[in-house]
Each structure stands twice: as C-alpha cells, then as structure tokens.
Amino acid sequence: MKRSKPINVLVTGADGQLGRCIKDLENQYSNLNLMFVNRQDLDITDEQAVASYFKQNPFDYCINCAAYTAVDNAETEKELAFKINTEGPKYLALACKEHAVVLIHISTDFVFDGQQKTPYKESDIPNPLNVYGVTKLKGEDVIQQLLDNYFIIRTSWLYSEYGHNFVKTMLRLAETRDEIDVVSDQIGTPTYAKDLAHVLLNIISRQQKHYGIYHYSNDGAMSWYDFARAILRGKHIKVTSIPSEMYKTGALRPSYSVLDTAKIQDKLKVDISDWEISLRKALTLYMSREK
C-alpha cells in the first residue's frame, strides 16, 4: 500500500557536491520531504547538537553527505578528519538508533589498498593506505556496530558541476595551460554525483529494506590520465601521461580501486550508467551554467 504521508529525510553536508546534487533532484521525488543542513545548521561532530536536532525534528531517513575529503591535508589534519569522518557518523548513528531512523552513509574506495587487480567486492577486506581512508573505514565500523538498519554506499572519483573535483580542475587548467601532466598508473572509476544522488533518493522512495554495505560507481575503469583526456577532448591542450612517483602527494593512493557494483544492481535494482555518458551529461550541464 502506498504511503500517504511524505517520508522525512535529513541531508547533512548540504553545501557539498553530493548534497547540492540531491537538492537539484528534490522536485523529482514528491513523496520525500527533504531537509538540508550544512555545518552551520548542524555540526555533526557535536554529539549534543545532533541528539537535540533529532529530538526536535522527526526523520525517517538521514543521508550523511558530510565528510572531510581533503585526502592530502588529512595526513596533517588527522584530528579534524577523524572528528568529521568517524565521530560525526557515530553521533548520527546514535541519534538514528534512538529515533528509529535509517542512516544512509557515503563512504569511499579509499578504504582499499589497491593491491587487487579485479574490482573490489563489498566482502573484500579493507586496508586503507592513508589517514582519510582510515577515518572513513572507522566511520563505517562504528555505524555497523551501532545500527542494524543502515546503508553504507562506497563510491569513487566523485565529480559534478559543484565544489572541488577532478573534472572542474582539468577544465580550469585547460584555460591557462598548453600542456598538463596526469598520472596513468592509478586505475579507478569516475562517478557523477547526480547519478549517485538519484540512487540514494530511489533507495528511500522505494523503501528498500536490504540493508548493508554497497558499492556504487559509474560503469567502466580507467586511469586519471584516460579520464583527463576524455574531459579535455576537443580542447587545445596536450595531456601527458606520467607515473605516480613523478607527482608527489601528501597521501598514498591505491593504484587500483575499481568497485564491483553487482550487489547494488542485484539487491537494490540499481541501473549503472556508463562513465562516458554521465561525463557528457555533466559537461553539457557545466558548460550551460558557465555561459
């Protein structure tokens, strides 16, 4: 039987690229009543603030898009990364448990070490290489310890027309440079944040009950170099392939982090878009907004 009253959904991290993509889709899900909060509205690292917010506002679901995502900076800002990526999810999980709210939490391919050469399944053992990955994995762990009704969605190489991401960086560099060097020995899958936003809202709209950890990315596997060439196709800029040792970063990154999405397709009936189709959609939208 169809639910008569709207499903109340809290979306944290509203100013991030995923939160903003969810906001863009709000009108397409008439059975959902979405409430968006940023850090100023609700600091998820403040346990009392979270508890009070859930007590005052009735929710059925919480989508946690709030995260510390500056991978290199996390190596020196360990405490801040831990607070946002581990303690924040813990406080949300505690509040969700008390008020019978389903938590949907966004995690990352960086929980893996990249030693595999086949796509990572949800059952594969995590072994993060950097502080960011460690804090995200600990966030996953605490949610699993506290809750039964949760969805943890690991995704990879997220981009959109919002925020800071690889696609926007490449487009910006193309405006001022004739040549750019991009690493070719790190393999993964780009994911359009708007595609992921649809998946999250569909999980809620359809009242999915197959709780657990899932992997979601667009379809395909490539290097950052391949991705850069696709982004910059048709532009007058030379893209040069380099090994990772020639591009030093503060944090180690997995050399292979392709996610196996079979489970989410099977259990939650999610359709996976080809990465190139999604990239074209995103670029078209980005260019139209820049005019």
Interatomic CA distance for residues 19 and 13, integer angstroms: 6
Give residue-wise pLDDT tens across range 13-36: 999 999 999 999 999 999 999 999
In sequence order, the β-bridge partners of residue 188 are 222
User: Are 264 and 216 spatial neighbours (Cβ–Cβ below 8 Å)?
Assistant: yes
Give residue-wise pLDDT tens across range 87-134: 999 999 999 999 999 999 999 999 999 999 999 999 999 999 999 999
Nearest to 106 by CA among 152, 165, 143, 138: 152
The string of DSSP codes covering 176-195 is: T-SEEEEESS-EE--EEHHH
Residues 6+ apart with CB under 8 A from 265: 271, 272
120 is catalytic: no
* pTM score, whole prediction: 0.94
287 Rama class: left (phi>0) / alpha (psi -120 to 50) / beta? alpha
User: Are 164 and 198 spatial neighbours (Cβ–Cβ below 8 Å)?
Assistant: no
1, pLDDT greater than 50: no
Tokens of 278: 């999604």
In sequence order, the β-bridge partners of residue 36 are 11
Nearest to 200 by CA among 51, 40, 37, 34: 34
Q: Which of 198-212, 238-252, 255-269 has the lowest mean pLDDT?
A: 238-252
Q: Is 62 helix (H, G, I), strand (E, B) or coil?
A: strand
Reported as a pLDDT band with limits 50, 70 and 90, residue 180 is: very high
User: Are 249 and 187 spatial neighbours (Cβ–Cβ below 8 Å)?
Assistant: no
Catalytic residue from among 29, 53, 61, 132 = 132
Q: Phi and psi of 9, rounded to 5°?
A: -130, 125
Interatomic CA distance for residues 199 and 20, integer angstroms: 14
| CB neighbours of residue 211 within 10 Å | 16
